A and B are shown apart, each in its own frame.
Chain A
Amino acid sequence: MTALGTVVLAVAALGLFALGAALGHAGARRQQENPADVGTPVERATFHTLHTASLAAPPLRAGLTPDTARKAARRLRPLLGTVALALADEESVLAWDGTGEHHRAAAAARPAHTARTRTFPLTCPDARCPVRWGVVVPLTVDGRAAGALAAFTDRESAVVVRAAEEVARWVSVQLELVDLDRARSGAIEAEIRALRAQISPHFVYNSLASIASFVRTDPERARELLLEFADFTRYSFRRGGDFTTLAEELRSIEQYLELARARFGRRLEVTLRIAPEVLPVTLPFLCLQPLVENALKHGLEESVERGRITITAEDEGTEARVVIEDDGVGMDPQRLRDLLRGRGGPSAGIGLSNVDMRLRQVYGDDHGLVIETGVGAGTKITVRLPKFHPGSAR
């Protein structure tokens, strides 16, 4: 081993760990306030408190579980400045931060669902143990007890009681927001259901009418179309599982287009360019079908001549890009913009804004619909779907 080797080894090891540490804390550091604007000591203390509170909020927003309680307790204890802090739900102590964990039972023994703050002294055989006195504050969500926050110090202190009550109130608000979040995703789920139901009346009528026209002239064709129709409705009305694969969604679109062709005949020309690599991509259920329906509506229904729809799915590294384009009458950009921002009438294009909202809800703002259109210029809708999304893995 040469001296150079030793040096290189040490430097490489150090570099690696520095890199890991830097990456690990990059996220946290980005959120920190700018150190150049220091302000007065009071302001700084306020900033510090707010910052600590903002760090404790994300875990709590995921609900009260041992893991989130542990993370939140670690952030909240410095806020109170106590030697120990515990968070409990209605049944047990979820997390204990600080020293003297052998008193965990003490926090558990105090009934959490008392509706008011309680203080109590603690005895400990260990002379060096700083946990001598505790305060338990209930956490309430919508007036119901949801758990308790317990703080422990070495002596009785009215300041700690006051501070613990304030922190507990703040935690309660965060937990109420959890319920709000749930209500919000419940509302979106309901909207998805609504969208599914919305396809049918118009489409079902048209499909059945065109199938009926074949019953006499071409019974075999009519039978096939009916089976397509059955498959399509089964897919559209299926329950459970909010995600599907691009392959399945495309298959349902195919059935949809097959039924549309029965109605429009040669006037409708469809071109598909699908890269097979992106077929396993998962995406929110019934996310593309409304876009195709829109293309059909603006590409064909409103014009007399023949129309062409092109559906492309391409591989873009970690994402799949789906483009649905028609050469029809197009849309008024301003009206479309209003529509996407929820200011349009209830009649038209609810499908588009719903898809846009769901994509943003699932993947974030970067993944909303990008629509290129103009009056008489056709429409091109682009959707970018991440190949991997932690929530959508099947």
Chain B
Amino acid sequence: MNQTYGIAGVSAVVLATVLVGALGLRISRTTSDFYVASRSVPPRLNAFAVSGEYLSAASFLGVAGLVLAQGADMLWFPIGYTAGFLVLLAFVAAPLRRSGAYTLPDFAEARLESRAVRRIASVLVVGVGWLYLLPQLRGAGLILRLLTGAPGWFGGLVVAVVVTVAVAAGGMRSITFVQAFQYWLKLTALLVPAVFLLIAWRADRAPAPAWDERPVFQRSTRVATDRPLTLTVHAPVRVTVTGTVDGRPLDGPLTLGAGTHRVGPGTTLGFPRGAPVPLPDGGGPGTAPTGWAQPLSAGREQHGLYATYGLILATFLGTMGLPHVVVRFYTNPDGGAARRTTVVVLGLLGAFYLLVPLYGVLGRLYAPDLLLTGDTDAAVLVLPQRLIGGPGGDLLGALVAGGACAAFLSTVSGLTMSVAGVLAQDVLPTLGIRHFRLATLPAIAVPTAASTVVTDLPVADAVGLAFAVSASSFCPLLLLGIWWRGLTPPGAVAGLLLGGGSALTAVTVTIAGGATSGPLHTLLAWPAVWSVPAGFAAMVLISLATRHRVPASAAATMARLHLPEPPRGPATAPGAGPKRSRERRP
């Protein structure tokens, strides 16, 4: 893809984000329009912001890459990402807002009046946040590598530095306007190219993708690799080579016979139209290059159904525990607004995810070489160039790159803010007055270090794993805390430690590569199926065993969580006088 256009796209997004952030804060108001200033964020605007913050690089790039690599089964990812908000809406949204909690530890303290539960919840929030940040930084690395050719770890580092500086300088915060702008930017960056891609696809006589067998190159394609690859070729294919194959330096045509071939770094292979795509040797997660696809491929055939349900449980129940999502609900003026916000979010996410599979399918058709190099996550980025080409393709490519950039900037900054807040308040309270800005550093440095140190990590599944940890710890805490009076502090501690702890352990083992295949790997890679029930069971049983520890304020808290707020403000109180000539707040 054209580097100049891409860099221009990314720079434009960063600039626009800073501008919107600055303007949103600068719009100074005089008393005459104070009503605008003191009016709360309307549900629709807040929903844009929630969606903008939530749609991450994993959604923007990863889902299409997964669909490209593995087909329709991967559509469960976007379904889960959206359905999580329905569960959040039904059980959590309004009561959470009414609790007055800003973070999950706040909720734990407000509901259970226990500092111990608060501390454990804080540690888990930081853990979930870090797990979620990891793939975002990797996605950033991928984009910058494609744009500039810089090594993958470098991109993550650049994003980390940009976000740290921005947050610490008080600039690009998780300001509602910025995040709302980011949503529309991301939607546009997917929608506009999608229209042109579909037109180009029709002009190409609308070929249907083949999922059943090895994909073939629709056009003659040149594949460049910057690292050594081992390919398995099933039928002899004639290619043009510049570089090394099987240890021999070559520059010209070559017939690759059936069998495995080693391709040296820096080699370019030219495949003719209609040739089947040779696939790299599937190794364990430790040897795979990149891709959200990895954890699923190992043992997916045998355990497909289990993995699907693991994914469904984790995403359906885990969304409510994501720190950067919870924080946004505080912005709503009351519980009813929180509910309406969530419904709008359902619509906005649905609109976005309708587009994503298109890119996966078209990628299967026109960018199958990504399977060869393993960069399936780049499908969204390379498609405009491949299918349209020319300056038009470059421009659309720049738009997509900008959208991807917006995706990880918004999520990374939102997550960094949330993690920094919890770190400053609960984990490092000794930092003093200016602690919040200082806490930004560890909040982002740890995942950055993790993503740069272990570059071969199958971080792909980290998003799914973050959801799993959240689903097994915060989901029981929120659901039982909101709907069951009998929850006690010891019960909550036990559930958080057993559910969250076991999921976190499974995650650690998966990331460390403890089990690479077989049923145990599947069990650990998709922990939600067993860790969510474990978390619930521990919370309920220990609470029943410690019934005398039910907080004295439980009844009052329940009333506050579930009863709608009384109408507020003098202007709406009865007897406020005749109708004003000026517009009053609703």
- Do A and B touch, yes or no (CB under 8 Å, in the complex)? yes
At the interface, yes or no: A332 with Cβ under 8 Å from chain B? no
**Chain A residue nearest to B113 in the complex (CB):** A390
Residue among A224, A279, A393 making CB contact with B333, cutoff 8 Å = A279
Residue among A231, A247, A318, A393 making CB contact with B570, cutoff 8 Å = A231
Give A26 Cβ to nearest chain B Cβ, in Å. Answer: 8
Stretch at the interface among A13-21, A166-174, A343-351: A13-21
Residue-wise interface mask of A (226-240) relative to B, using a CB-CB cutoff of 8 A (1 in contact, 0 not): 010011101100000
Residue-wise interface mask of B (81-121) relative to A, using a CB-CB cutoff of 8 A (1 in contact, 0 not): 00000000000000000111111001001100101100110
At the interface, yes or no: A315 with Cβ under 8 Å from chain B? yes
**Contact between B40 and A279, CB atoms less than 8 A apart:** yes
Residue among A16, A24, A272 making CB contact with B31, cutoff 8 Å = A272
Give A134 Cβ to nearest chain B Cβ, in Å. Answer: 23
Chain B positions within 8 Å of A23 at CB level = 116, 119-120, 123
Residue-wise interface mask of B (22-40) relative to A, using a CB-CB cutoff of 8 A (1 in contact, 0 not): 0001111111001101111
**Contact between A272 and B40, CB atoms less than 8 A apart:** no
Chain A positions within 8 Å of B420 at CB level = 317
At the interface, yes or no: A209 with Cβ under 8 Å from chain B? no
Chain A positions within 8 Å of B425 at CB level = 318
Stretch at the interface among A119-127, A175-183, A251-259, A334-342: A251-259
**Contact between A277 and B560, CB atoms less than 8 A apart:** no
Give A47 Cβ to nearest chain B Cβ, in Å. Answer: 25
**Contact between A2 and B576, CB atoms less than 8 A apart:** no
**Contact between A231 and B331, CB atoms less than 8 A apart:** no
Give B173 Cβ to nearest chain A Cβ, in Å. Answer: 6
Stretch at the interface among B60-68, B345-353, B509-517: B509-517
**Contact between B436 and A319, CB atoms less than 8 A apart:** yes
**Contact between A8 and B99, CB atoms less than 8 A apart:** no
Residue among A252, A272, A274 making CB contact with B30, cutoff 8 Å = A272
Q: Which of A224, A235, A392, A393 has the most CB of B within 10 A?
A: A393
Give B282 Cβ to nearest chain A Cβ, in Å. Answer: 19
Chain A positions within 8 Å of B39 at CB level = 247, 276, 279
Chain A positions within 8 Å of B208 at CB level = none
8 Å CB interface, A187-237 against B: 220, 224, 227, 230-232, 234-235
Chain B positions within 8 Å of A279 at CB level = 38-41, 333
Residue-wise interface mask of A (62-98) relative to B, using a CB-CB cutoff of 8 A (1 in contact, 0 not): 0001110000000000000000000000000000000
Known contacts A280-B40, A317-B421, A390-B110; A258/B31 CB under 8 A: yes
Q: How far is the CA of A392 from the CA of B102 in the complex (A)?
A: 12
**Chain B residue nearest to A269 in the complex (CB):** B30
Interface size bracket, A side: 35 or more
Chain A positions within 8 Å of B505 at CB level = 9, 12-13, 16
**Contact between A318 and B424, CB atoms less than 8 A apart:** yes
**Contact between B41 and A20, CB atoms less than 8 A apart:** no
Give A347 Cβ to nearest chain B Cβ, in Å. Answer: 29
**Contact between B581 and A220, CB atoms less than 8 A apart:** yes
Q: How far is the CA of A282 from the CA of B565 in the complex (A)?
A: 14
**Contact between A280 and B37, CB atoms less than 8 A apart:** no
Residue-wise interface mask of A (266-310) relative to B, using a CB-CB cutoff of 8 A (1 in contact, 0 not): 000111111111011010000000000000000000000000000
At the interface, yes or no: A27 with Cβ under 8 Å from chain B? yes
At the interface, yes or no: B530 with Cβ under 8 Å from chain A? no
- 9 A–B pairs (Cβ distance < 8 Å), ordered by A: A5-B520, A6-B514, A23-B120, A24-B119, A230-B576, A251-B34, A251-B570, A273-B26, A390-B109
Which residues does B use to contact A, with CB under 8 Å?
25-31, 34-35, 37-41, 98-103, 106, 109-110, 113, 115-116, 119-120, 123, 170, 173-176, 330-333, 417, 420-421, 424-425, 433, 436, 493, 497, 501, 504-505, 508-509, 512-516, 520, 548-549, 552, 560, 565, 568-571, 573, 576-577, 580-582, 585
The 10 A-B residue pairs with the shortest CB-CB distance in the complex, in nearest-first order: A5-B514, A393-B100, A388-B106, A254-B34, A387-B102, A317-B436, A250-B38, A231-B570, A388-B102, A317-B421
Question: Given A9-B509, A269-B30, 18 more contacts at CB 8 Å?
Answer: A1-B514, A19-B123, A20-B119, A23-B116, A23-B119, A23-B123, A250-B37, A252-B570, A273-B26, A274-B38, A277-B331, A279-B39, A279-B41, A282-B100, A314-B170, A387-B102, A388-B110, A393-B560
